[in-house]
Amino acid sequence: MEAGARRGESPSFPSCSGSCSHFPFPHPSHSLPSSCYVAEEAGERTFRCSQAGLVAVPQGIPNDTRKLYLDANRLASVPAGAFQHLPALAELDLSNNVLIRLSDAAFQGLGNTLRYLDLSANQLTSVPAEAFRELQIQVNLSANPWRCDCALQEVLRWVRLAPGTGAGIICGPSARPELVGQEFLSLIEEAEMCGPGRGGARRGTDAALLVTMGGWLALVVAYLAHYVRRNQEEARRPPKLAPTLPARSEDSSMLSTVI
């Protein structure tokens, strides 16, 4: 009887802040840690899977989820389209994982809904700017060992930093030695990491293309100059006289007869 009562008890969930109600996970066929749960927080469907030992983005997250918490796990990467089945997602927390890589399509499909992204306290040294180009979001990039280069500056052109997080973007060991330990925002206030103007990340490629085109143009100009000079020299030479043919013997005999 006592065992039956225990079986009938409601499952225990981690506490949530504010006003929230828990719901049983609607996809029992997917094996998830018991600490993952669905809740209604401030009127928004929320999926919490914090400190669950996850090594990959879990399957079976309800597609009407507005807030998704995958913080404090062991996620090392976010593959392309990892959240594209969540068309209502507005807030995503990936903080305190071990992320070292984001696909350039990691947030594909979230351009119309995602408003806040937390990537703090991971192992990111760089992220592709393409991952953020469809998004209009606030992002927390603090507490990562950033490389602090032109690529990071390009990322910051596409996102808005969450208030109070900019000072936490610190250059890590992979940055140039003179930059390690410095705040990235203070560095780019003093000097552009990409050189003057925007789009500096592509400047090296553009310069190489210009050099190549210049080389071909120089060859064409040199050939044309040689061709014109040769024609001018030919024009200045005296015309060649046509060779005089020797008189035939018959003509000589006829001339003697006439005389």
188: Cβ contacts below 8 Å, ≥ 6 apart: 153, 156
Round to whole Å and give the CA distance between 257 and 198: 99
pLDDT at 12: 36
pLDDT at 175: 96
First to last CA, the chain: 159
Of the candidates 112, 127, 121, 113, the residue with the CA atom closest to the CA atom of residue 93: 121
pLDDT at 2: 38
Using CA atoms, how far residue 85 sits from 27, 107, 167, 225, in Å, is: 15, 11, 34, 64
pLDDT at 215: 78
Using CA atoms, how far residue 142 sits from 67, 105, 118, 161, 163, in Å, is: 20, 21, 9, 9, 11
Round to whole Å and give the CA distance between 88 and 105: 18
pLDDT at 209: 64
User: Which residue's entry shows tokens 């090392």?
Assistant: 76
CATH architecture of 37-190: Alpha-Beta Horseshoe (3.80)
Round to whole Å and give the CA distance between 209 and 188: 27
Residue ranges of the alpha helices (H) in the chain? 2-8, 150-158, 184-190, 203-236, 249-258
Residue 51 has a CB neighbour count (10 Å cut-off) of 14
Q: Does an H or E element contain 41, and which?
A: strand 37-41
* Domain boundaries along the sequence of the chain: 37-190
pTM above 0.75, yes or no: no
Tallying the residues shown for the chain, one arrives at 259
The answer to whether the beta carbons of residues 71 and 93 sit under 8 Å apart is yes
pLDDT along the chain (259 residues), means of 10: 37 44 47 82 95 93 96 97 96 98 96 97 97 94 97 94 97 96 93 64 53 77 81 72 56 49
φ and ψ of 47, to 5 deg: -115, 120
